[in-house]
């Protein structure tokens, strides 16, 4: 009798569990359908939710949607409008208006797209200096901070203690001691080891305002995703000098030395002129998101004003991320790739493209463009490494040249088109950067800077080895099967 009741209880429990599971599957299926993600992404989520009872649903609710939270979503809309007004104000000034007759017509088309999706106009009157030696970059940033008179604004994905990175911290202490407003924003997750160390406390004690960007925790996970990260790297001094690029605030000799990938190889640009105003606006906007302060008050407190023109480089600053541009940055990259007629060179540490980006690269090679993709031989992400390798056969099939950089983890994110247009910034060619991270990218129109960046790219090419298509196709079945398995989850990376 007892055994029968136990069996009946278990059968009833399993029935209720199955009903609850299928109810969850149905509810989430409706959400996925109404959100209208890419078909591959939608099917991957539906499979996961169905195949992993309750666990799949929990994962979807945590990271399946690009939820930024109600307040943050509203403020992101305001920030986008503010960026549009600021760039238009610069253009109306006259000296910042771009003379598009200086450029190929395709440049003006890319610019119009950026205006439409990000509200950001290209502006004239800037000067870019490209730097590719990390320790020189850290020394130069410290020197610029030592020359600061009113404000230093900084934001980074990672800050790491040790080596010449500490020179920047000491420069900040000296600056705040002489009355300079210093604000530092570091991603809560990317900078987690640093946040657990002593330097944040030292900075606060010295009078430096330091905040974690996008804090994580169970409560925040209810109202927004915890894996939406601030991936930008920006420094602005007095609203007159700016820095941005791929390098975190780290000395490569002291950063992730146990990862087995060698030193990280990065590049940054030092910016003077009009574009600094737009970089400052990005940092101030990100700071305002964390403290719920008025942007106008922060600008006034930091004594920021429109930067005076310097140089003749035309730049479009694209700040992208969930709630800011949605798929805007992807559209900009597609337009850039499709504009290539002779040569397209791309460097990125992480290559997990969506179907549109993959097809654009194949299409460029197919119409006769020399397409060179430079990747690091070793990367620190296990999932990305295996997922990335599954795209090579398709690229080889259209004649794309793939090269593996051998002297460290090549971390520079750059694209040059025909020696005339360049993209330089923080965005990787993977779905995380394109859909989940807050990034900043410079679209630079003109041959002067593009040729300098192209020269750096060719230095990377000289220090890399070409991947042989036939040898790659002959890899053992086990390797190909493992890689292809990870590609199934690439839409979720």
- The overall longest dimension of the chain from CA atoms, in Å, is 91
CB 351 within 8 A of CB 375: yes
| Residue from 82, 164, 238, 266 carrying the catalytic annotation | 238
How deeply is 145 buried, as exposed, middle or buried, from its count of CB atoms within 10 A (0-12, 13-18, 19+)? buried
465 is catalytic: no
Nearest in space to 64 (alpha carbons), one of 27, 17, 23, 20: 27
Q: Is residue 231 annotated as part of the catalytic site, yes or no?
A: yes
In angstroms, rounded to a whole number, what is the distance separating the alpha carbons of residues 129 and 131?
7
Task: Classify 222 as helix, strand or coil.
Answer: helix
Q: Is 35 a catalytic residue?
A: no
- Given a contact cutoff of 8 angstroms between Cβ atoms, the answer to whether 351 and 383 are in contact is no
The verdict on whether 393 is a catalytic residue reads no
Give the rounded distance of the alpha carbon of 352 from its chain centre. 13
Catalytic residue among 164, 413, 430, 483: 413
Q: Which of 233, 251, 266, 314 is catalytic?
A: 233
Listing DSSP states for 67-135 in one string gives ---HHHHHHHHHHHHHHHHHHHHHHHTSTT---GGGS-HHHHHHHHHHHHHH----EEEEEEEEE--HH
Is 196 known to be catalytic?
Answer: no
Q: Which residues contact residue 412 at a Cβ distance below 8 angstroms, ignoring those fewer than 6 apart?
A: 132, 245, 246, 265, 266, 267, 347, 456, 460
Candidate list 82, 106, 411, 483, residue with the active-site label:
411
The number of angstroms, rounded, from the C-alpha of 470 to the middle of its chain's C-alpha atoms is: 33
For residue 246, what are the contacts with CB-CB under 8 A and spacing of at least 6?
A: 233, 266, 267, 268, 411, 412, 413, 425, 426
Q: Is 233 a catalytic residue?
A: yes
Catalytic residue among 103, 111, 131, 231: 231
Helix (H, G, I), strand (E, B) or coil at 210: strand
Nearest to 361 by CA among 344, 384, 348: 344
Active site residues: 231, 233, 238, 411, 413, 418
């Amino acid at each position: 009798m007892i055994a029968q009741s136990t069996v009946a209880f278990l059968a009833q429990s399993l029935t209720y569990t199955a009903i609850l599971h299928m109810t969850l599957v149905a509810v989430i299926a409706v959400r996925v359908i109404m959100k209208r993600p890419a078909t591959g992404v939608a099917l991957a989520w539906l499979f996961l939710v169905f195949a992993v009872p309750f666990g799949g649903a929990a994962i979807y609710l945590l990271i399946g949607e690009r939820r930024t939270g109600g307040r943050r979503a509203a403020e992101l809309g305001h920030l986008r409008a503010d960026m549009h007004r600021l760039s238009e104000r610069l253009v109306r000034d006259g000296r910042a208006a771009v003379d598009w007759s200086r450029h190929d017509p395709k440049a003006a088309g890319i610019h119009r797209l950026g205006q439409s999706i990000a509200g950001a106009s290209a502006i004239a009157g800037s000067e870019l200096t490209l730097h590719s030696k990390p320790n020189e970059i850290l020394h130069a940033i410290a020197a610029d901070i030592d020359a600061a008179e009113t404000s230093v604004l900084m934001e980074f994905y990672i800050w790491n203690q040790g080596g010449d990175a500490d020179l920047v911290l000491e420069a900040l202490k000296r600056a705040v001691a002489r009355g300079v407003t210093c604000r530092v924003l570091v991603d809560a997750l990317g900078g987690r080891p640093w946040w657990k160390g002593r330097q944040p406390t030292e900075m606060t004690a010295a009078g430096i305002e330091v905040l974690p960007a996008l804090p994580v925790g169970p409560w925040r996970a209810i109202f927004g995703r915890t894996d939406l990260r601030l991936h930008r790297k920006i420094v602005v001094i007095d609203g007159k000098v700016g820095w941005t690029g791929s390098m975190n605030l780290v000395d490569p000799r002291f950063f992730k030395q146990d990862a087995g990938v060698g030193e990280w190889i990065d590049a940054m640009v030092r910016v003077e002129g009009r574009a600094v105003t737009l970089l400052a606006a990005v940092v101030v906007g990100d700071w305002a998101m964390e403290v719920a302060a008025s942007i106008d008050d922060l600008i006034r407190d930091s004594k920021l004003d429109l930067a005076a023109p310097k140089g003749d480089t035309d730049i479009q600053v694209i700040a992208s991320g969930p709630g800011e541009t949605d798929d805007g940055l992807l559209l900009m990259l597609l337009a850039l790739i499709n504009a290539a007629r002779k040569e397209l060179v791309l460097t990125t540490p992480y290559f997990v493209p969506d179907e549109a980006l993959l097809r654009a690269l194949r299409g460029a090679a197919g119409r006769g463009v020399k397409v060179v993709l430079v990747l690091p031989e070793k990367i620190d992400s296990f999932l990305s490494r295996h997922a990335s390798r599954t795209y090579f056969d398709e690229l080889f099939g259209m004649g794309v040249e793939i090269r593996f950089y051998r002297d460290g983890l090549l971390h520079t994110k750059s694209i040059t088109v025909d020696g005339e247009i360049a993209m330089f910034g923080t965005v990787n060619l993977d779905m995380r950067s394109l859909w989940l991270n807050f990034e900043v990218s410079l679209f630079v129109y003109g041959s002067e800077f593009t040729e300098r960046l192209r020269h750096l790219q060719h230095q990377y090419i000289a220090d890399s080895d070409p991947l042989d298509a036939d040898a790659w196709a002959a890899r053992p079945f086990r390797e190909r099967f493992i890689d292809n398995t990870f590609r199934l989850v690439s839409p979720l990376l």
